[in-house]
Amino acid sequence: EDKVVQSPLSLVVHEGDTVTLNCSYEVTNFRSLLWYKQEKKAPTFLFMLTSSGIEKKSGRLSSILDKKELFSILNITATQTGDSAIYLCAVGVSGAQKLVFGQGTRLTINP
Amino acid sequence: TAGITQAPTSQILAAGRSMTLRCTQDMRHNAMYWYRQDLGLGLRLIHYSNTAGTTGKGEVPDGYSVSRANTDDFPLTLASAVPSQTSVYFCASSDRSAGSEAFFGQGTRLTVV
């Protein structure tokens, strides 16, 4: 069974801290790994990773994939209150033609 | 650009009644998906469609049906709603099959009483 597991499930930090969110996966035919941010309603796309060891970066957010150890991390530096959200990890599975999501990490940034 | 439009935004439904959740996209994406989101369980795939005229079952398809008569529309029908179908439902689309970036609608909050 295809599975994506995120940790921690919940995290509370102070503004300015750096956080690392984890995503591990076990899928039959890996195609890509995607990170989404969900604030109030629809998840919005952050990154798509397909190759190991290549960091994707957007402002204070960065992510990297390890296809050997089957995990990815999402780093957020100098956190701001606007970073408070649920962060979702999803893995694209070829053949079955689907995105499998993890449970999400609820991140809260306190001023 | 509208992107993906879902309707209704929210609904309270009596158990045993039927309902269709509507989803329309204007991006000409081939693939469309329906997910439900429940606290602590993340997003779970109900049904998907890789192209107009074809559909497939996701991980939680029971109690739901879909159709894909054209590229733009992907309605989700609950034939006889039960309280366990209380959830937030998201429709999504992507321009290729699984593994590419999916765009999400704003969700439909359904409460079955």
Task: Print the domain residue range for A71.
Answer: 3-110
- Given a cut of 50, the residues of chain A with pLDDT beneath it are none
- Fold type of domain B4-112: Immunoglobulin-like (2.60.40)
User: pLDDT (tens digit, 0 to 9) for every residue of chain B, 113 residues total?
Assistant: 579 999 999 999 999 999 999 999 999 999 999 999 998 778 999 999 989 999 999 989 999 999 999 999 999 999 999 999 999 999 999 886 556 788 999 999 999 99
pLDDT tens digit string along A80-90? Answer: 999 999 999 99
The domain spans of chain B are 4-112
Cα–Cα distance measured from residue A42 to residue B106, given in angstroms and rounded to the nearest whole number: 5
Say how many C-beta atoms besides its own lie within 10 A of residue A38's C-beta. Answer: 19
Contact criterion met (CB below 8 Å) for A88 and A106: no
* List of residues 6+ apart from A83 with CB closer than 8 A: A60, A76, A107, A109
Closest Cβ opposite residue A42 in set B48, B58, B107: B107
Q: Which CATH number belongs to the domain containing residue A32 in this structure? A: 2.60.40.10
| Chain A contacts in chain B segment 8-67 (CB below 8 A) | 31, 33, 35, 40-45, 48, 50, 56, 58
Task: Identify the pLDDT of residue B95.
Answer: 81
